[in-house]
Structure 1
Amino acid sequence: MKKHLLFYLVFLLALGYSSFAQEALFRAQNIISPEIHDDSSVTFRLFAPNAKSVQVTGDFLPSVKMDTPMGQMDGPGKAEMTKESNGVWEFKAPALNPELYSYSFVIDGFTTTDPSNPFLNRDVASVTNIFLVGKGQADFYRTNDIPHGTVARRWYDSPGLGMDRRITIYTPPGYEKSTEKLPVLYLLHGAGGDEEAWIALGRTAQIMDNLIAEGKAKPMIVVMPNGNVIQDGAPGEGSKGLYKPSFMIAKTMDGTYEGAFTDIISFVESNYRVQADKAHRAIAGLSMGGYHALHISRYYPNTFDYVGLFSAAIMAREDATGKVYSNFDETLKAQMDNGYKLYWIAIGKTDFLYDANKEFRTKLDGMGMKYTYVESEGGHIWRNWRVYLTQFAPLLFN
């Protein structure tokens, strides 16, 4: 009898624990987070019954200044979440402007992703959740019901770097069935990025599909290389295997990449149907990629008719003594004298590179070198760079 009673008690205990576990699992699986309401407000939820404090952090909140290896930059703000009686923490953001946003949770000081949201992006070594709000600008970032291009990861031989390297290439809708030769935009990432950055964080395929479908941009090929010359591919995609990405990698801004860039052009023009002349080549990049675009277009001064500098780093560091950086003024003047159709500079008002860009524009003014200047709100952030691409691409190859 005692054995039966003990068994019964153990059974009840196990049943109770199982019910609690199933209830916790059920709650976690059925949480909607983020919930985007009709008025564009957004509610975030997290089931964490034993947590003492939970915050949400993301670029939908007012930015804060953060110290980084590149100096002070805008970082995501934080907001306290409120614990409900069922163990679910909540925070409701007011109506947000149309945009692609990223966020994370901070649980008792530990930053983590939202288990209820499977949509993620990696920026250098940080992984965050993403969500889209509203129409307008956000529509450029959606996969809409329109013809779609193709995104391919290719490997090309780089004699200048002594290795095969991975590259991401977008071809517009209908490319495979067409015989038309197309223009090319070479689109370069910033420090800590790689050949995955523009396609994932920048939403390049969605932006180009939507611009082309609306007749706002010419069909073009977009080439997104890896600017880290000691890598053959992004972390986890190259021969070095699975390792933690770093913000600044050796030799990224010493002239090696710029000097070997013709390897990329040669690969594209040998493997794709392109119009292989200056009038049908564009180069643009963000931050370090803007730096690369500036120096590549200047070092090869009769190669690109369109140049885009998005929040660009400008001048080489004192320890960068590569041939690419010599005769800066002379090669810039040669680029000007050779002629071009568009030299486009864009930066946010609070970007840490704002003053450097202002000084560069003063230099261009003194030379009489024409450019188009766009100044936006905000700082050194992907939100700006996606917008810049939607503004820059329609100006190409017209």
Structure 2
Amino acid sequence: MLLLSFFAFNGYAQENLNFGKQKEIISPEVHENGTVTFRLKAPAARKVEVQGDFQPAGSNSAGTDRMVLNADSVWTFTTKVLPSELYSYSFIVDGLKIRDPNNVYLIRDVASVVNVFLVGKGIADLYKVTDVPHGTVSKRWYNSDGLKMSRRLTVYTPPGYESTKENYPVLYLLHGVGGDEEAWMQLGRASQILDNLIATKKVKPMIVVITNGHTINSAAPGESSKGMYKPVMMTPDVFNGDMEQYFPEIIKFTESNYRIKKDKANRAIAGLSMGGFHSLYISANYPNTFAYVGLFSPAILPPSNNQQPIYQQLDKKLSIQAKNGFKLYWIAIGKKDFLFKNVETYRKKLDTIPLKYDYVESEGGHTWSNWRAYLTEFLPLLFN
């Protein structure tokens, strides 16, 4: 009787799992030819649109594309052929922006959450998790005496770090005004890029330390004792000098806790936007610390507190940095970036000093598609 009951229940359970089974909705569907189809079942909706960073600037003025309602109550839209890239998107249903319920892959950018997908056969293949040896990504807390708080870092150690006694060079990688210590890993796909480039021996194994540049926050939103507050882009600490002033604490922590080659030739610093601004001033104020400097779309703007010693006499500091010598000072920006003219003015300053630099000018603007690409170009230049 017990056996009969078990088989009866098991059969019912299996039937119940299939009861009312509906046709699976795949969205987004990335096709072999590089087009992408989005689908959303919304039978009561009157208007459904898809909004994503794959639309060219000015597309439909609102940056959206209308989806079409099919007979099965599923709204669909298929893109033109898209270049290889990591893309983000949302749906807009009768004016309300929502996530794609059929896509579990989400990324937070400041206070917004968007769905993402990859189109391969190009640069985005570096953004994929592939079958290669993987580095370790850890969250580490360090004590900042200057800021009087414990703060969190993201640290990437290369494949094999745990099983060897080797010492490694280090890259300090800084985020933009809307980011935190998670941004380069989530939006920037930094660990995937590093794994893939190290595996092909295009990049030397290195440790990468990703900081939190908002000095009033100890960690990313929801990851500290401040609780689950709504993130904002422009915090009061932006360009106030604290990040630059107390950066040596981060170097000290890293070199005390990891097997680091503790000399200038094996230190690099780079950042995007606000992080580029920080990298500029940190490397200028500690002019014999970094052999490699990378400024990705740097936010070369007037500091919020010009009276801070850290921001004064920049020309003199850059001159000292130039005389001390370095291996690479690398600047990259998109032609449509709103900071393009600022960077152009800064380059003229460097020409006058003179401070030798490498310059890369790309298409596009102030976007993660550029910053990911810059990282893939910058990393192979380090520690050679």
- Shorter-chain TM band: over 0.9
Cα distance, 1:64–1:323 mapped onto 2, change above 3 Å: farther
1:38 partner letter: E
2:371 is aligned with 1:377: no
CA drift at 1:370: 0.5
| RMSD of Structure 2 on Structure 1 (CA) | 1.4
Whether contact under 8 Å (1:228, 1:252) holds in the other structure is yes
| Aligned counterparts, 1:1-398, within 5 A | 26-27=22-23, 30-64=24-58, 77-317=63-303, 319-398=305-384
CA contact (8 A) 1:99 1:137 kept: yes
Contact 1:58 1:76 in 2 (8 A): no
Offset at residue 320 of structure 1 (A): 3.6
Percent of counterpart pairs with the same letter? 58
TM-score (norm 2): 0.93
Q: Which runs of 5+ in 1 are unaligned?
A: 1-21, 66-74
CA shift for structure 1 position 130: 0.6
Give the deviation of 1:315 after TM superposition: 3.7
Could you tell me how far apart the structure 2 residues matched to 1:76 and 1:228 are? 32
Q: Distance in 1 between matches of 2:325 and 2:37?
A: 52
* Aligned 8 A contact 1:121 1:127 in 2: yes
Q: Deviations over 1:358-388 (max 9, x none)?
A: 0000111111211000000000000000000
- Asked whether the equivalents of residues 171 and 208 of structure 2 are also in contact (C-alpha less than 8 Å), the reply is yes
C-alpha distance in 2 between matches for 1:316 and 1:161: 23
- What SS does structure 1 have at the residue aligned with 2:22? helix
Q: Name whichever of 243-252 and 382-391 sits farther off.
A: 243-252
Letter in 1 for 2:55: L
Tell me which amino acid in the other structure corresponds to 1:306: Y
Distance in 2 (alpha carbons) for counterparts of 1:76 and 1:302: 48
Question: In structure 2, what is the Cα distance between the partners aligned to 1:239 and 1:355?
Answer: 40
Asked if 2 retains the 8 angstrom alpha-carbon contact of 1:62 and 1:76, the reply is no
Which whole-Å CA distance do the structure 1 matches of 2:269 and 2:173 have between them? Answer: 6
Tell me by how many angstroms 1:243 deviates: 1.0
Letter in 2 for 1:305: A
Task: Note the C-alpha offset of 1:79.
Answer: 0.7
Counterpart amino acid of 2:190?
Answer: T
Structure 1 letter corresponding to 2:280: L
Question: 1:318: Cα distance to partner?
Answer: 5.5
Q: Tell me the equivalent position of 2:6.
A: none
Helix, strand or coil at the partner of 1:151: strand
CA distance in 1, matches of 2:157, 2:121: 26
Moved more, 313-322 or 94-103: 313-322
Letter in 2 for 1:63: A
Task: Please list every run of at least 4 consecutive aligned residues from structure 1 whose deviation after the TM superposition is greater than 4 angstroms.
Answer: none
Question: CA distance change for structure 1 residues 316 and 138 in 2, over 3 Å: closer, same or farther?
Answer: same
Equivalent residues of 2:150, 2:218 under 8 A apart: yes
Distance 2:349 2:317 in 1: 13
Opposite residue 307 of structure 1, the aligned amino acid is: V
Residue deviations 1:325-384 (CA, integer Å, cap 9, x gap): 011111111111100000000000000000000000011111121100000000000000
TM-score (norm 1): 0.90
Contact 2:239 2:304 (8 Å CA) reproduced: no
Deviation at 1:76, TM superposition (A): 8.4
Distance 1:106 1:228 in 2: 32
Measure, in 1, the Cα distance between the counterparts of 2:96 and 2:27.
19
Letter paired with 2:218: D
SS in 2 for 1:193: coil
Output the amino acid matched with 2:288: N
Specify whether residues 326 and 348 from structure 1 end up closer, same or farther in structure 2 by C-alpha distance, changes over 3 A only: same
Cα distance between partner residues in 2 of 1:135 and 1:239: 43
Aligned-partner Cα distance in 1 for 2:27–2:354 = 53
CA distance in 1, matches of 2:62, 2:203: 32
**May I ask how many residue pairs the two structures share in their alignment?**
365
Gaps of 5+ in 2: 1-18
